[in-house]
Chains A and B, each alone.
Chain A
Amino acid sequence: MDAAVSRRLLFEMLRIRLVEETIADRYPEGEMRCPVHLSIGQEAVAVGVAASLAADDCLMSAHRAHAHYLAKGGDLTALLAELYGRATGCSSGRGGSMHLVDLDVNMLGSTPIVGSALPVAVGTAFGAWQQGRGGVTVVFVGEGATEQGVFAECLNFAALKRLALVFVCENNLYSVYSPLDVRQAPARDRAALATAHGIPTASGDGNDVEAVVAATLAATARARRGDGPTYLEFATYRWREHCGPNYDNDLGYRTEDEFETWRARCPVATYRDRLLASRVISTADVAHMEATITAEIEDAFAEARGAPFPPAGELLANVYAEALDS
């Protein structure tokens, strides 16, 4: 892989990691008054997928969307302002952490009802199909969303119309505290559900950013050729609690051993070490990256917290869309 691209991938993963850790550090202050589902541990999928997209490709996501939003180029200050409930937030404070949007980079939104954003994303690809224009839509889901009926409905329609779409499933093994084995039959093959609709699939190590890039580029190339959708599944792991800033292995729903096994496979550290070993970067480069990112984060937090809240008089704004002057 081109060295500049490798450095960029590392930088983006490191940036997401440091943003999320800073959110976790500051969350107990009680000023970010909305649920947060942190992406720590899952950075490689977000960065690998987003790095494979063009600016006019669209992206949609679910409740754990910070990494997807940032990887697609979503504005950091607007994300933080959204968590702080400020008028300058990416959703003007009306959505919070679970409703992230940045139309400037075609991040079209995220929603937390499991599987709910799936058909909306299919619809953006369907809209492109009707308009006869290019561009690919990527939709992120967790493995839990594949349990919803709407998942099968979406596979069918995307295949029926050969839409320019990539389904990206992040399998992090848990739906809140519920492990896979209480939710899915042992023999259940999620990718085979896609295959059954004639949709090609690929699966890979979600903690290996270059593997994610390779799989995504193949999928988007298929979509751009007019060959229809692809289902990608990446194995990964969230480090912290389902929702909130803490570690929760003490609850007993998963083992410390399992957590340590995944932490040893940290997507950021393993890639950093690989690039160091192959001399693509130096330790000084890494330190420079961290300093750059840390400064950006400090500025973004200060600006977000300093921004005004929406005035109470705007409570009913945007319940209905007003007609645009056309």
Chain B
Amino acid sequence: MSRILSYAAAVREAIDQSMARDPRVYVMGLGVTDPKGTFGTTLGLVERYGPRRVLDMPNAENAMTGIAIGSALVGMRPIMTHQRADFVLLALDQLINNAAKWHFMFGGRMRAPLVVRLVIGRGWGQGPQHSQSLQALFAHVPGLKVVMPTTPHDAKGMLVAAIEDDNTVIVLEDRWLHGVEGHVPEDLYRVPLGTAATLRPGRDATIVATGYLTLEAQAAAAELATEGIEAGVIDVRTLKPFDAEHVLAAVRETGRLVVADAGWRSLGFAAEVVARVAEDAHAHLKAAPRRVTCPDAPTPTTPALANAYYPRADEIAAAVRTQLGRRTARGRPATARPGVPLDLPDPHFRGPF
């Protein structure tokens, strides 16, 4: 049975059903038991599973990440939750030196099956330290898996798969996706990590997108379709390991690649996708690949600048038109959220975070 659920409710259901299925799974993070329940994603869990399996924690991200790793080494399956991805930077020693390498550096004798949920803030002035899209940082490190589910269906299925994975999996959730609704099966199911998904076919160009920008990519493709341009949209879903074959197959058909990723431009995930296509599908390219990313700057707080900071559907569509030698007409820019102020995820959002 499938119902309409929000992304946040789908995340909550993934955790709930995983905890019911496996007594080794536990949840730990600042505020996971508070009245807001991490944007609703952990609501009710402590009542159901008790304080030994659903724990608030000290403001000590580094030690707590190491503690989660240690518990994983002796058989537990922790889900660490950070309400803003920026806070996990305190724990890079544990994530990069330990979690990512423990299996390798001890010759495969131990495993660190840890899930780290990172919520990426956006809008309402989240600013330089509450809105960083750090996926490329983690995806650079061998031993970590990095996923960015976009749909409620994938939010549940990929989180279940991440919890069952024997590696450390970084799960990035765009805050603006939490309110998005979609079909979600009631039963426990998995969406395999390491697989991209084609959300829309298209013969003229291939738009490869991550996280929230996948919605903008779909809006761009819809706008382009009204102009007679058929642009396909691929949701990357897993950045590491990256499903390069899925992207390469599409680009070999279309000859045009636009990558939309809200990380910074230089040395980012979009650059990696372009590099893979340049190496392995160069002969099929009909136009230079293009990146649509945030600029190489911290996120500004004032909406006046933040609105110019984030790429939207109109930039993605313009990149495709450029590849096809078309001009972009002046007019109201296309976005995934027509009519919603640019610093809000949906018309009902009133802040503060």
A127/B107 contact (C-beta < 8 A), A122-B67, A320-B167, A324-B166 known: no
Do B62 and A126 touch across chains, with their CB atoms under 8 A apart?
Answer: no
- Chain A residues near B (Cβ < 8 Å): 58, 89-95, 99, 101, 103, 108-109, 111, 113, 116-128, 130-131, 149-150, 153-154, 156-157, 160, 317-324
If A127-B73, A150-B62 touch, whether A116 touches B103 (CB-CB below 8 Å) is: no
Cβ A124 vs Cβ B70 within 8 A: yes
Q: Cα distance A44–B145 when bound, in Å?
A: 42
Contact B105 A116 (CB under 8 A): no
Any A CB within 8 A of the CB of B266: no
How would residues 103 to 122 of chain B score, 1 for a CB under 8 Å from any chain A CB and 0 otherwise? Answer: 11111111101000000000
Q: Taking A99-B105, A119-B65 as contacts, is the C-beta distance between A126 and B71 under 8 angstroms? A: yes
Bound form: Cα–Cα A117–B102 in Å: 11
Selected contact of B93 from candidates A99, A109, A116, A157, CB within 8 Å? A116
Chain B residues within 8 Å of A91, by CB: 105-107, 109
B residues sitting closer than 8 Å to A (CB atoms) are 26, 52-53, 57-58, 60, 62-76, 93-94, 97-98, 102-111, 113, 142-143, 145, 165-167, 241
A156 touches B58 (CB 8 A): yes
Q: Please determine whether A128 and B66 come into contact, CB atoms closer than 8 angstroms.
A: no
CB-based nearest B residue for A320: B167
Beta-carbon contact of A320 and B143 below 8 Å: yes
Q: How far is the CB of B162 from chain A (nearest CB, A)?
A: 13
Q: Assess whether B63 is in contact with A157, with CB atoms less than 8 Å apart.
A: yes
Are A150 and B63 interface neighbours, CB within 8 A?
yes
Given contacts A109-B110, A113-B97, A119-B94, contact A321 B103 (CB under 8 A): yes
**Beyond the given A94-B106, A116-B94, could you list 9 further A-B residue pairs with CB under 8 A, ordered by the A residue number?**
A118-B63, A119-B94, A127-B71, A153-B58, A154-B63, A156-B63, A318-B107, A320-B241, A321-B103
A94-B104 in contact (CB<8A): yes
| Nearest-neighbor residue (CB-CB) of A103 within chain B | B109
Checking A101, A119, A124, A321 against B166 with a beta-carbon cut-off of 8 angstroms, the contacting residue is A321
Specify the chain B residue showing the minimal Cβ separation from A106: B74
Most chain B CB within 10 A, of A92, A119, A128, A319, is at A119
Residue of A nearest to B164 (CB): A323
Residues of chain B contacted by A153 (CB below 8 angstroms): 58, 60, 62-64
A167 to chain B, nearest CB (A): 13
In the complex the two chains form, what is the Cα distance from A116 to B57 in whole Å? 19
Q: A119-B64, A124-B70, A321-B167 are in contact. Are A131 and B75 (CB under 8 A)?
A: yes
Residues of chain B lying within 8 A (CB to CB) of residue A319: 103-104, 142-143
In-complex Cβ contact of A323 among B63, B105, B166 (8 A): B166
What is the minimal beta-carbon distance from A52 to any residue of chain B, in angstroms?
21
Q: A92-B108, A94-B104, A111-B97 are in contact. Are A156 and B167 (CB under 8 A)?
A: no
Q: Cα distance A124–B58 when bound, in Å?
A: 18
Q: Within the assembled complex, what's the spacing in Å between the Cα atoms of A101 and B52?
A: 29
Residue contact A157 to B60, C-beta cutoff 8 Å: yes
When chains A and B are docked, how far (Å) is the Cα of A126 from the Cα of B75? 11
Measured CB to CB, the closest approach of chain A to B289, in angstroms, equals 28
Contact A123 B166 (CB under 8 A): no
Counting chain B CB atoms within 10 Å of each CB, the highest count among A156, A319, A324 belongs to A319
Mind listing 26 A-B residue pairs with CB under 8 Å? A91-B105, A94-B104, A95-B106, A101-B110, A108-B74, A111-B97, A116-B94, A118-B66, A120-B94, A123-B67, A123-B73, A127-B76, A130-B26, A130-B76, A153-B58, A153-B60, A154-B63, A160-B58, A318-B103, A318-B104, A319-B103, A320-B145, A320-B241, A321-B108, A321-B166, A323-B165
> Interface centre among A58, A118, A321, A324, by most B CB within 10 Å?
A321
Interface centre among B58, B103, B113 (most CB of A within 10 A): B103
One of A99, A130, A149 near B71 (C-beta < 8 A): A130
In the assembled complex, which residues on chain A have CB atoms less than 8 Å from the CB atom of B110? Answer: 101, 103, 108-109
Task: Kindly list chain A residues whose C-beta atoms are within 8 Å of the C-beta of B26.
Answer: 130
Residues of chain B lying within 8 A (CB to CB) of residue A150: 60, 62-63, 66, 93
Query: Closest B-chain residue to A88, C-beta based?
Result: B107
A113–B93 touching, CB < 8 Å:
yes
A156 and chain B: residue at smallest CB distance:
B58
Instruction: Give min CB distance, A321 to chain B, whole Å.
Output: 4
Which of B71, B94, B107, B167 is in CB contact (< 8 Å) with A95?
A: B107
Measured in the bound complex, the distance between the Cα atoms of B107 and A131 in whole Å is: 26
Chain B residues near A317 (CB-CB < 8 A): 108
Known A123-B73, A124-B71, A157-B58; judge A116-B66 contact (CB<8 A): yes
Distance between Cα atoms of A128 and B76 in the complex (Å): 9
The closest CB in chain B to the CB of A133 belongs to: B74
- The reply to whether B76 and A94 form a contact with Cβ atoms under 8 Å apart is no
Closest 3 pairs (CB-CB, A-B): A123-B70, A119-B66, A92-B107
Q: Are B76 and A120 in contact (CB under 8 A)?
A: no
Q: Which residue, A95, A116, A150, A156, has most C-beta atoms of chain B within 10 A?
A: A150
B167 cross-chain contacts in A, Cβ below 8 A: 320-321
Shortest Cβ gap from A159 to chain B (Å): 11
B residues in contact with A103, CB < 8 Å: 109-110
Contact between B52 and A130 (Cβ–Cβ < 8 Å)? yes
A112 to B138, CA, bound (A): 22
Q: How far is the CA of A124 from the CA of B75 in the complex (A)?
A: 9
Q: How far is the CB of A139 from chain B (nearest CB, A)?
A: 10
- Of B53, B67, B74, B107, which one neighbours A119 at CB under 8 angstroms? B67
With A119-B70, A153-B60 as given contacts, are A321 and B111 in contact (CB-CB < 8 Å)? yes
Q: Which residues of A contact B67 (CB under 8 A)?
A: 119-120, 122-123, 126, 154, 157
Cα(A320)–Cα(B57), bound, Å: 29
B103 touching A127, Cβ below 8 Å: no
Q: Which residue of B lies closest to A92 (CB)?
A: B107
The chain A residue sitting closest to B113, CB to CB, is A321
Q: Which residue of B lies closest to A318 (CB)?
A: B108
- Residues from chain A with a CB closer than 8 A to the CB of B143 are 319-320
